[in-house]
């Protein structure tokens, strides 16, 4: 039975409940069929830690207490990407865009003062931008397959390096002895980042000691 802080290997495909369109998947074939495929993405099962928001709240809440197996989950907006917030739909002066040489047209994704939004309408000097998540207010359906509960420390560490630092398997070397780990990352990261990541890995993988270094 799966509980909070367990690591699980999972596959999933997410669809919009009303439209039926796939927007998220770990399956390469499904990604290609749905025109979501990206060459820089690694497809296949992923390992996540339950309770750490590595997957949507609705998936985590459903999985806790379940066993390994396949499930279909209906997820309400509040357990996915949130309800639509009217305050995040704002009128922006057109000069904000012309200063940066941007011509706002409906459907264009824009960055305004560090916030990503979608242009809803553009008329005269008034541009209506929606800063809600594109899937806010949407009911979702996820087909998931929990393949196994992951107990191996190396696999747990690698999953966290992937989820937190977006590292691939070849980007790190891991030495394990009992509950002590030495992790060498083949990329540069600030010491402060390494310290925080090391503390998180030590906590979640239940290690007695971790030494995390980067080139």
pLDDT tens for 9-61 read: 999 999 999 889 999 999 999 999 999 999 988 899 999 999 999 999 999 99
Q: Are residues 109 and 69 in the same domain?
A: no
For residue 37, the domain's CATH number is 3.10.50.40
What's the total number of domains in the chain? 3
Residues spanned by the domain of 2: 1-81+136-151
pLDDT bin (cut points 50, 70, 90) of residue 104 is confident
> Max Cα separation, the chain?
67
Q: Give the C-alpha separation, 144 to 68, whole Å.
A: 10
**Cβ atoms within 10 Å of 213's Cβ, excluding its own:** 13
pLDDT of residue 111: 86
Q: Are residues 146 and 170 in the same domain?
A: no
pLDDT of residue 93: 87
Q: Is 77 helix (H, G, I), strand (E, B) or coil?
A: helix
Q: Are residues 61 and 144 in the same domain?
A: yes
Which two tokens mark 197?
Answer: 């990541």
Query: pLDDT tens digit string along 167-198?
Result: 988 999 999 998 999 999 999 999 999 999 99
pLDDT at 99 over 90: no
pLDDT at 123 over 90: no
Q: Are residues 25 and 76 in the same domain?
A: yes
Mean pLDDT of 90-102: 85
Q: Are residues 62 and 143 in the same domain?
A: yes
pLDDT of residue 115: 86
Q: Are residues 10 and 99 in the same domain?
A: no
Task: Please list the helix, strand and coil fractions of the chain in percent, rounded to the nearest 5, in that order.
Answer: 25, 35, 40
CA dist list (Å): 189 to 6, 88, 192, 194, 214: 27, 34, 8, 7, 6
pLDDT bin (cut points 50, 70, 90) of residue 215 is confident
Q: Which of 130, 160, 193 is the endpoint of a domain?
A: 130
Q: Are residues 58 and 97 in the same domain?
A: no
Report which of 153, 154, 90 is spatially closest to residue 119, judged by C-alpha positions.
90
Cross-strand pairs, 184: 173, 213
- Answer yes or no: are the C-beta atoms of 22 and 45 closer than 8 Å: no
pLDDT of residue 103: 86
Q: Model's pTM, two decimal places?
A: 0.83
Q: Are residues 94 and 164 in the same domain?
A: no
Q: Are residues 38 and 142 in the same domain?
A: yes
Q: Are residues 25 and 119 in the same domain?
A: no
Helices (H) and strands (E) in the chain, counts: 5, 12
Q: Are residues 40 and 2 in the same domain?
A: yes
Q: Give the C-alpha separation, 112 to 167, whole Å.
A: 29
pLDDT of residue 100: 79
- Answer yes or no: are the C-beta atoms of 110 and 129 closer than 8 Å: yes
pLDDT of residue 67: 96
For residue 98, the domain's CATH number is 2.40.10.330
Mean pLDDT of 94-119: 86
């Amino acid at each position: 039975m799966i509980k909070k802080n367990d690591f699980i290997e999972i596959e999933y495909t997410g669809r919009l409940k009303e439209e039926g369109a796939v927007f998220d998947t770990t399956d390469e074939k499904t990604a290609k069929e749905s025109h979501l495929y990206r060459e820089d993405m690694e497809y296949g099962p992923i390992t996540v830690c339950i309770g750490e928001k590595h997957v949507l709240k609705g998936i985590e809440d459903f999985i806790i207490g379940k066993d390994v197996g396949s499930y279909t989950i209906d997820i309400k907006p509040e357990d996915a990407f949130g309800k639509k917030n009217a305050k995040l739909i704002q009128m922006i002066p057109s000069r904000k865009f012309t200063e940066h040489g941007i011509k706002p047209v409906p459907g264009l994704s824009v960055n305004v003062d560090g916030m990503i939004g979608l242009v809803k309408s553009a008329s005269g000097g008034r541009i209506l931008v929606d800063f809600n998540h594109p899937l806010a207010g949407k009911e979702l359906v996820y087909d998931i397959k929990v393949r196994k509960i992951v107990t191996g420390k190396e696999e747990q560490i690698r999953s966290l390096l992937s989820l937190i630092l977006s590292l691939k398997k070849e980007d790190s070397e891991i030495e394990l002895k009992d509950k002590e780990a030495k992790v060498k990352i083949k990329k540069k990261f600030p010491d402060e980042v390494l310290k925080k990541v090391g503390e998180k890995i030590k906590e979640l993988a239940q290690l007695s000691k971790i030494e995390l270094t980067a080139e």
